[in-house]
Structure 1
Amino acid sequence: MAKNYLQAGEFVTVLAPAALASGDPVLVGAIFGVVQFDADSGDEVELARRGIFDLPKTTGQAWTAGVKVYWDATNSLVTTTASGNTLIGAATAARVAGDTTGTVLLDGTIR
């Protein structure tokens, strides 16, 4: 292993941009992840950048498995609308328009 290797990057520690609770999805700059423990604004917090999570979704949208999903930072929801939003992964299961959560595969890619 290279002498400058630090970690795998599945989890990353950042400063919380606001008060966050375990399980909250958050975008910090270009890094999207799911909060692993509660943190106050400005505290260090660990984000999971990869994995499959149930996340809050935009109602009124039906999802199919494999559809690309994006983070709508304005509304703090996952959406299938690309314009103005950040690509975070893909849905792993179909959801009907009325569902408030969706199952999302985060691949950890910075976009």
Structure 2
Amino acid sequence: MKNFIATGNTLTITAEADIASGAGVLIGSIFGVATGPIANGAQGVINLTGVYDLPKTASQAWTVGAKVYWDNTAKACTTTVGSNTLIGIAVLAVGGGAGETTGRVRLNGAAV
């Protein structure tokens, strides 16, 4: 097939700020997780699909299957819609304690 480019599980981006390996990255309505550190202005790869442990809003309980959104201001996942971007679903229940700040998310791989 002459028009095939890639499977679409990853995307090469140009960083608009320093990005740590494993950090969530939102560019427009595309969300991914950095596969390695990316310096400001440099190109690097983000994964658009997969299951990741990501920072989440503290004191917010999640249930399996709950829609998960990215709060680009706080750089954390949340179940609050607001102006946040849908990135996937919770695949592990997590409590709402103040110290419970990591959630397991299956990325939806779609720009929303």
What's the TM-score once normalised by structure 1's chain length? 0.96
> What is residue 109 of structure 2 aligned with on the other side?
108
**How much is the aligned-residue C-alpha RMSD, in angstroms?**
0.7
How many Å apart are 1:28 and its aligned residue? 1.1
SS at match of 1:6: coil
Structure 2 gaps of 5+ residues are none
How many Å apart are 1:61 and its aligned residue? 0.6
How many Å apart are 1:18 and its aligned residue? 0.7
Give percent identity, aligned residues only: 47
1:6 pairs with 2:5? yes
Which residue identity is paired with 1:6? I
How many Å apart are 1:108 and its aligned residue? 0.3
Q: CA offsets, 1:7-52, max 9 Å, x none?
A: 0110100101210111011101111000001111111010000000
What's the TM-score once normalised by structure 2's chain length? 0.95
> What is residue 59 of structure 1 aligned with on the other side?
58
- Hey, what's the Cα distance between the residues in 2 that align with 1:45 and 1:29? 16
Poorly superposed stretches of 4+, deviation over 4 Å: none
Which residue identity is paired with 2:20? A
- What does 1:5-84 correspond to in 2, within 5 Å? 5-84=4-83
- Hey, what's the Cα distance between the residues in 2 that align with 1:46 and 1:35? 6
Q: CA offsets, 1:78-104, max 9 Å, x none?
A: 000001100000000100012110000
Which residue identity is paired with 1:108? G
SS at match of 2:38: coil
User: How many correspondences in the alignment?
Assistant: 110
- Hey, what's the Cα distance between the residues in 2 that align with 1:63 and 1:21? 25
